[in-house]
Structure 1
Amino acid sequence: MRNSSVFSLLKDISAKYHDFLREVPDDQFQLTPPIGGWSYSEVYSHIFDISILTLKEVEHCIKGEGKIKPTAFIVKVILFFGSFPPNAKYKVPKALVGRERKITKEAAAAFIQKFLEELDIVYSQLHLADPALKTLHPRLGYLNASQWFRFMEIHLKHHLKQLKRIEKSF
């Protein structure tokens, strides 16, 4: 998928997160859902924190700070189809455990805004990235700038589904 298409999708998905945030009842935002796991608040904290970290990896690739490494075949399949394998549960990689936290709806909205601002800056430079240079993703292996961009889209979509599961549990 072209970077311009992924960029548009990232904007659209972020708008869905923003719309969903407005719909979540204030008294439920930080509550652990009946199904257990993360609250809405922790999902927002996780997804936009990780998305901003992902943009930093894209910047490293743009600046030529990557390595020339292969991308695993299964990762290429995930990136091609635009989703993680169905019905699979994923744990946060050890390096990122504990970064999620309970935040307010206002902080979540600010996180979205910060992400969108940084996304615009990084996207404007994305064409400068050497596709051969990659940085290490903690679970997927080495990704180049465009692959990191695509991963962000897949990750954001994945957690939108989680928000819907939480919603159904209340």
Structure 2
Amino acid sequence: MSDLKLIDAYKSNLQAYSLEQLRHIPERGTWSLGQMYSHLILVALEYLDNVEACAEAVSEQPLGKTTAGENLYARGGFLPIKIKLPDLPENTPSNSEEKEDLFAGLDLVQKRMREWKGKVDLVNPNHKALHGGFGWLNAREWYDLVDMHFRHHLNQKQELEQKLSL
């Protein structure tokens, strides 16, 4: 499934949730579906900002990926494990977004991905931006990370849906 079709699938699922279902936190220490959607949108937009930063870079970066980054790209995605972010406010997505806001966010992600799809490979691969865990990534790698991140959250989405008996 292409990255844009995957986002379409997320949008299709979003349509079926009630606002109550979107905001339901099944247990302490977990996110609601709405928080997961909000997280996906914010992270995708951050990754796409880094695609743009690579395109606008004027100097080449000789450094590369960390071992974790090399492994991620060799696999083509994240390991199917839960990743717990530190319990900080900036790591806790909003649980008050309206469905329309989430749709608009997903639309914006798709719009920006379409804008970059045909030109991401024209960016100098040695123009890079630093990812905190994966090292120095070029525009293509940042772009691909959007899809990897959406795919990574499919299991979480399925678990949350099961807890709602969807």
Question: Which bracket does the TM-score occupy, shorter chain normalised?
Answer: 0.7 to 0.9
TM-score of the pair, normalised by structure 2: 0.86
The residue aligned with 1:57 is 50
Match of residue 6, structure 2, among 13, 24, 34: 13
Match of residue 76, structure 2, among 77, 82, 101: 82
Measured in 1, the distance between the counterparts of 2:82 and 2:26 equals: 20
User: Equivalent pairs: percent with the same residue?
Assistant: 22
Question: Deviations for 1:79-99, whole angstroms, at most 9, x for unmatched residues?
Answer: 12222223342426979524x
Unaligned runs of 5+ in 1: 1-7
Measured in 1, the distance between the counterparts of 2:26 and 2:61 equals: 41
Q: Secondary structure at the match of 2:119?
A: helix
The residue aligned with 2:160 is 166
User: Is the counterpart of residue 118 in structure 1 residue 112 in structure 2?
Assistant: yes
The residue aligned with 1:130 is 124
User: Would you say the 8 A contact 1:79–1:150 is kept in 2?
Assistant: no
User: Would you say the 8 A contact 1:93–1:139 is kept in 2?
Assistant: no
User: Which 4+ residue blocks in structure 1 deviate beyond 4 angstroms?
Assistant: 92-96
TM-score of the pair, normalised by structure 1: 0.84
Measured in 1, the distance between the counterparts of 2:22 and 2:94 equals: 12
Measured in 2, the distance between the counterparts of 1:30 and 1:165 equals: 15
TM-superposed CA distance for 1:122, in Å, is: 2.2
Match of residue 148, structure 2, among 154, 158, 163: 154
Letter in 2 for 1:30: R
Match of residue 91, structure 1, among 67, 73, 85: 85
User: Would you say the 8 A contact 1:61–1:134 is kept in 2?
Assistant: yes
Unaligned runs of 5+ in 2: none
CA spacing shift, 1:71–1:93, aligned 2, 3 Å: farther
RMSD (Å) for aligned C-alpha atoms:
2.3
Which stretch has the larger CA shift, 120-129 or 157-166?
Answer: 120-129
